[in-house]
A = this chain, B = another copy of it.
């Protein structure tokens, strides 16, 4: 096997996604992923900490992206939320096909659903702290952050399931507007 493997990370990720879909996440081993990619387990571990990271790589970057976006936005709760959602959309809205396949694996695996919940709850905490930094007091900062995550959850699901692909940022903005209309009617 050649020492230099072109796009090893991409091939490993693709092999993992195929196997998760075919056999299920829990039934797939790192050895099988590496084999499918024509690489070794050692190479796998050079790119991913474990088989879960194939699905969650990149999520650590969302917290800092949210912080930076809120810090650069006008210092109001909803401007911060809008900026945070735009920043998240820019990072996770690039490849709907990958996101759809990923979502199917997560929906089929309770352990991964819990992981995803925890990730989103952490992001709500980051967003709340970033809004506080901007001078937004609690409970407004907490309410805005939790609502931002509600918009993200619902809008992301909608983005994945709509027949025609629209930019994720646009779907999130629309979800926010629909929520505003709902609460205005209340």
Binding site for B on A (CB under 8 A): 76-79, 82, 114, 117-118, 121, 139-140, 142-144, 146-147, 149-151, 153-155, 157-158, 175-176, 178-180, 182-186
Contacts of A154 in B (CB 8 A): 139, 142-143, 146
B184→A180 contact, CB < 8 A: yes
CA distance A183 to B146 in the complex (A): 13
Choose among B121, B143, B155, B157 the residue that contacts A179 (Cβ–Cβ < 8 A).
B143
Contacts of A184 in B (CB 8 A): 180, 183-184
CB-based nearest B residue for A79: B186
A78→B183 contact, CB < 8 A: yes
Contacts of A142 in B (CB 8 A): 153-154, 157
A179→B183 contact, CB < 8 A: yes
CB-based nearest B residue for A174: B139
A179→B147 contact, CB < 8 A: yes
A77→B182 contact, CB < 8 A: yes
CA distance A180 to B77 in the complex (A): 12
CB-based nearest B residue for A155: B139
Contacts of A146 in B (CB 8 A): 149-151, 153-154
Contacts of A185 in B (CB 8 A): 76, 78
Contacts of A176 in B (CB 8 A): 186
Instruction: Offer 9 A-B interface pairs, CB within 8 angstroms, sorted by A.
Output: A78-B182, A82-B186, A139-B155, A143-B182, A146-B153, A147-B147, A180-B183, A180-B186, A184-B184
CB-based nearest B residue for A115: B114
* Shortest Cβ gap from A77 to chain B (Å): 5
